[in-house]
Amino acid sequence: MGIEQGPLSHRDDIYRTIIETAHDIIWTLDTEGNFTFFNRRCEETSGYGLSDLIDHNFAPLIHPEDLPKVQEVFLKTLQGNPQSYEVRAYDRNGKMFVLSVNTAPLYKKNKIIGTVSFGRDITENKKMEETLRENEVRYRRLVDYSPYGIGIHSEGKIVYINLAGMNILGATKPEELIGESIFRIIHPDFHETVKERIRMEEEGKIAPQEHETFVRIDGTPVDVEIVSIPFTYNGKPAMYGVFRDITERKKLEEVSRENERLLLASKAKADLFAILSHEIRTPLTSIIGFTEVLKDAKIAGELNEKQVYFVEKILASSNHLLLLIDDILDLSKAESGKLELVTEKFSAPETINEAIALIGETATKRGIIIKKEFESFYMKADKRRFKQIMLNLLSNAVKFSKPEGGTVTITAKKIEDVAHISVSDTGIGIKKEDIGRLFWAFEQLESGISRKYGGTGLGLAISKKLVELHGGTIKVESIFGKGSTFTILLPLKSKKNLLNTRPTSGNHQQDSSVC
C-alpha cells in the first residue's frame, strides 16, 4: 500500500515497513489539505481505507470546534514551521477520538509539497484526565463545603482554609487568613502544644487528636478539636488539619458535670432529710411528749416556778424545732414533686376560720384585731394543705402587724371559677427591692427579724409551692412601713394555669408579682 506503484528500492522497502508497523498514526496531506497517504495504524483507528480518503480533504474528519485551530496549524506548517497540537476527530462510525499530533512540512527537491503528521491516540488518557479533573472538583467541593473546618499550613503559613474553617474563625473571605502565620489563630496558651505537634508531624508521625483554643478574627477564643496529618502541598512539606468547634459541646459537658454535682447534692439532701425525718424528728416527738407529761402536775407532781419555766422553754424550743423539720420536709417534697395532694370538696370560709382559730390566741395577746369579709363558696383542693397556706399567711400577718391596734383583714370570694383570697396587715411592710426575695427558702428580709419575730423563714416558700401545686398563683402588694397584702388565686374545680390572671385590687399601691 503506498502512493507509488512498481518496483521499490531496498531502502524504500525498509522505510515503508517501518511506517506500516509503527504504533503512531502517520498521514500526509498535499498543499490543499487532501490526503495523499496514511498507514495501517491510521486505517485501524479511523476505520477508513486508503481509497476512502485519498484526494479527500481532512476537514470533515475534524471536530467542528477544533477545525479552525487545525486549519491554522496546517497553514503554519506549509510555511515551514513544525507544529504540535491536540485534536478531536471522528472515525468512520462517527465515534470521537483524540489525537496528540506532531506535524512538519513535507519537502520534495527543497520545495514544500504538503505536510506529514504523526499522531498518537490519547482518547483513554483524556478520559482518565477528565475523570481526575471531575474527581478533583468533587473532592475540592467536599473539602470546601465540609461541615468540619479544614485548613492547610506550609512553612508556618496558612495556605488554604475552607468555608467551615472560615466560619469557625470568624472570617468572611479566605484572604483574611491566607498567608497569615499559623500562630495567628492559635491561642498563646497552646503555642507550645502546636509546636510539639508540628515537630511530630515533621517526623512523619500523625499527632493524636487534640483539644485546643483558636483565636477568631475578632480576638475571641473558640474551643476546637483538631487532628493533623503531614503531606506534601505544591511540592513542599505541609500539614493538613481537620477541626471542629466544640464550644457548645464543652458547655454541655459542663452542664453534665453540674448536673452530676446537683445529683450528688440532691442525694446528700435526701440523706439529710432521711436523718431529719427518722433520726431527729422521732426522738424529738418523744421529748415533746415527756415534757408535756412533766407539765402535768397530776402525773409528774407539782413543779416549782423555776422548774415550770425550764419545762416551758424546753417545750417551746422543741415545738419550734419540730415545726422547722416539718417545714423542711414539706419544702423538699414540694421541690422534688413528691408532695401529693389529696383533693376533696370543702367550704373555703369554714376552713379559713379553722386557721384563724389556731392563731386567734396569739392575735388577742398582741392586741391585733382580725376582720373577715367572706363569701360562702366551696372549692375542690387539698384541705389540709389549703389550711397550711392560710395558717402561714395569717401567722405572718399577726407576727408583723403593729401590736395594740394592728389589724389583719381576710377576704375570700369567688369570681367565676377562681377563688380570690387575700390577707392584709398593718405591719412593717416590705421594701420594693426586697419583694423579689420574699418567697426564697430560709430568707428573712431584715437582719434581726428572726430574733425579733421568730419563724423558720420557710412559711412563704412552702405556701408558694403549695399554691402552685394547686395550679394557682400568689402575689404580694406592699408599702414599706404601712403593711402588706398577700393574694392567692386558686381554681375552684380543676387544676389550671392562673399565672396570667390578675388579682383584685388591694388597699396598697406598690404591686409586684411573685409567681
Burial class (CB in 10 A: 0-12, 13-18, 19+), 178: middle
Spelled out in words, what is the top-level CATH class assigned to the domain 250-335?
mainly alpha
**Kind of pairing between the strands at 236-245 and 221-233:** antiparallel
The pLDDT of residue 444 is: 56
Say which range, 11-20, 81-90, 259-268, 342-351, has the weakest mean pLDDT.
11-20
Nearest residue to 506 (alpha-carbon basis) of 420, 389, 432, 383: 420
* Topology annotation, domain 10-127: Beta-Lactamase (3.30.450)
Top-ranked range on mean pLDDT: pick from 73-77, 429-433, 498-502 = 73-77
Ordered alpha helix ranges (H), 79-144:
123-144
Mean pLDDT over residues 12-41, rounded?
86
Place of cell 499522531: 119
pLDDT at 11 (0 to 100): 67
Contact 183, 194 (CB under 8 A): yes
Q: What mean pLDDT is predicted for residues 343-352?
A: 94
How far apart CA 466 and CA 119 sit, in angstroms, is 96
> Any idea which of 21-25, 36-40, 182-186, 364-368 has the lowest mean pLDDT?
21-25
Over residues 95-139, the pLDDT tens digits come to 999 999 999 999 998 999 999 999 999 989 888 988 888 888 787
Q: Tens digit of pLDDT for each residue in 245-257? A: 998 888 888 888 9
Record the pTM.
0.47
| Cell numbers that stand for 200 in this block | 511530630
Tell me the pLDDT band of 442, cut-offs 50, 70 and 90: low
Torsion of CA 421, 424, 430, 435, to 10 degrees: 0
pLDDT in tens, 446-466: 544 444 545 556 788 888 989
Say yes or no to pLDDT of 494 above 60.
no
Let me know if the fold of 10-127 is the same as that of 138-249: yes
pLDDT, residue 80, reads 94
68 CB-contact burial (10 Å; exposed 0-12 / middle 13-18 / buried 19+): exposed
Name the percent of the chain lying above pLDDT 70: 88
3-state secondary structure 286-329: HHHHHHHHHHCHHHHCCCCHHHHHHHHHHHHHHHHHHHHHHHHH
Q: Which residue has the cell 503506498?
A: 2
Across 24-51, average pLDDT: 91
How is residue 287 written as a grid cell?
421529748
CATH 3.30.565.10 fits 340-491, yes or no: yes
Number of DSSP helices (H) and strands (E) in the chain, helices first: 15, 18
Question: Going along 201-319, which residue ranges are E strands?
Answer: 210-215, 221-233, 236-245
What whole-number distance in Å separates Cα of residue 331 and Cα of residue 465? 8
Domain boundaries, the chain: 10-127, 138-249, 250-335, 340-491
Q: What's the pLDDT band for 72 if we cut at 50, 70, 90?
A: very high
Q: Which residues pair with 54 in a beta bridge?
A: 35
**Maximum Cα–Cα distance across the chain:** 161
Lowest mean pLDDT: which of 19-23, 36-40, 409-413? 19-23
Question: If pLDDT is split at 50, 70 and 90, which confidence band does 302 have?
Answer: confident
In terms of pLDDT, which residue wins out, 438 or 213?
A: 213
Task: Tell me the pairing of strands 369-374 and 407-415.
Answer: parallel
- For 321-326, the CB contacts below 8 A with 24+ separation are 321/284, 322/281, 322/284, 322/285, 322/288, 323/456, 324/456, 324/458, 325/276, 325/277, 325/280, 325/281, 325/284, 326/281
Q: Is 67 helix (H, G, I), strand (E, B) or coil?
A: helix
Which range, of 179-183, 213-217, 305-309, averages the lowest pLDDT?
305-309
pLDDT at 501 over 60: no
Topology (CATH level 3) of domain 138-249:
Beta-Lactamase (3.30.450)
- Please report how many Cα atoms fall inside a 13 Å half-sphere around the Cα of residue 44, on the Cβ side: 13
The Cα 498–Cα 487 span in angstroms is: 13
